[in-house]
Amino acid sequence: MLSGEASISDLAPASWTLSDDQQRLCAAVTQFARKRLEPLLARSPDAAVWQETVSLAAGLELGTMILPEDRGGMAISRHDLALVIEELAAGPLERAVELTLSSAALMTLRAHDALGLLPARDIRHYFDGTTSIALSIPDVDASGLWLLRQHPASRTITVQVADNHPRLVLATLTANQYASQGAPVAVLGALSLERYRPTPAIEPPLLVMPKGPDRHGVDPAQTWLVETAIYLGALLSGAMRHSVNFAFDYSTSRQTFRKPLGSHQLVAARLADMLVAAHGVHLFLRSVAAQDAATPVATVRQMARHAAAEAMDVSRELVQLCGGHGYVEGLLPAARFQTMHWFAMLLMQVDAALDVFSPSARPGTPDGEPA
């Protein structure tokens, strides 16, 4: 829990105003998302149209943004990358994930000077549909994991426990493991959400940081889980903001009892609550992401729980605003209703993993206050 004025003030940046560079970045991504992703809420694209969208998304140069400056990149911050992810959530969440699935892994590898471990040395291949790094979240006892992947034989970053110490590895699941696990838990477009228990056999892994914490004392497993929490939080925050925008438009155009739906006092109050919730999650996410390596794990966990809970509340409120499930199917947000809960669930899994695998989140450590 946050306690004391110092803790609260530490979360607030000097200014919430975006710089000119940040505004230009958001404007470019917003233009792309509105033109290529938002229309997908109404209809799924054919293969050729989606491939064109992926090619145009690659033109945003997210890979170059993530690369460190000494390798010709821009070394984008967590905060600015979260802004990009939020804007891409204008369409179906699974489509945004297809375009950005590798970003949390790449940010983790960059933080620990381990980008050289990548099998595909051209970082652009992780954003043009050629390959990807699957997102995996370990169980609290490391006995299994959740895996969100796009390509069947893609690498994944995961946490292994050796000598009672978690270590971060870049690994590939063995080919026969896919056949033995049965059907995936959910299929989200081209993404497959899978549950592995026990932890599957993997090819000889590459340790991201063989010697444990980096020069700043940050453990690689902690970095991975924090980056994943911010990534999933940004997806949900973006989905909430775009859903609330739809809610305001819908309540203005929909007529009930010969006046706009939003003019009814109860509806207006619920719209206000949704707007406050969405804006609150957005600011909480920005405050956490802006702290980079200094982010307290307890604060990241609070953000994760808050974002997951508020996202589901806003989703439920929007269904009720639109008149119930039967009335929602033909409306644009319906595509989000069918997938948002999976990403909220994964975010809660990250919260639980941070409680166990992050050294600073354990009792007796400087950041280890109870959740």
pLDDT, residue 279, reads 96
**Mean pLDDT in residue range 97-121:** 91
Residues 257, 104: contact at Cβ < 8 Å? no
pLDDT band at 119 (very low <50, low <70, confident <90, very high): confident
Domain ranges within the chain, ordered by starting residue: 220-361
pLDDT, residue 79, reads 95
pLDDT, tens digit, for every residue of 170-220? 888 654 454 445 568 999 989 999 988 766 666 667 777 665 666 666 788
pLDDT band at 265 (very low <50, low <70, confident <90, very high): confident
Percentages helix, strand, coil for the chain (3-state, rounded to 5) are 55, 10, 30
How many beta carbons lie within 10 A of that of residue 163, not counting itself?
5
Residue 163 has pLDDT above 90, yes or no: no
pLDDT, residue 172, reads 81
**Mean pLDDT in residue range 111-134:** 88
pLDDT band at 74 (very low <50, low <70, confident <90, very high): very high
Inter-CA distances, 67 with 63, 103, 206, 268, Å: 6, 11, 20, 45
Inter-CA distances, 219 with 215, 224, 247, 304, Å: 10, 9, 42, 19
Rounded Cα distance, 290 and 282, in Å: 12
Least confident of 230-239, 308-317, 359-368: 359-368
Q: If you search the block for the tokens 């895996």, which residue do you land on?
A: 147
User: C-alpha 34: how far from its chain's center?
Assistant: 19
pLDDT band at 3 (very low <50, low <70, confident <90, very high): very low
Q: How high does pLDDT run on average in the chain?
A: 84
Tell me yes or no: is domain 220-361 CATH 1.20.140.10: yes
Positive or negative torsion for Cα 132, 291, 312, 237: negative
Q: Any idea how long the chain is?
A: 371
pLDDT, residue 43, reads 86
pLDDT, tens digit, for every residue of 305-344? 999 999 999 988 888 887 754 566 667 777 788 899 999 9
pLDDT, residue 287, reads 94
Question: What is the helix (H) or strand (E) element at residue 193, kind and residue range?
Answer: strand 191-196
Give, in degrees to the nearest 5, the angle at Cα 142 between 197 and 203. Answer: 75
Least confident of 23-32, 144-153, 158-167: 158-167
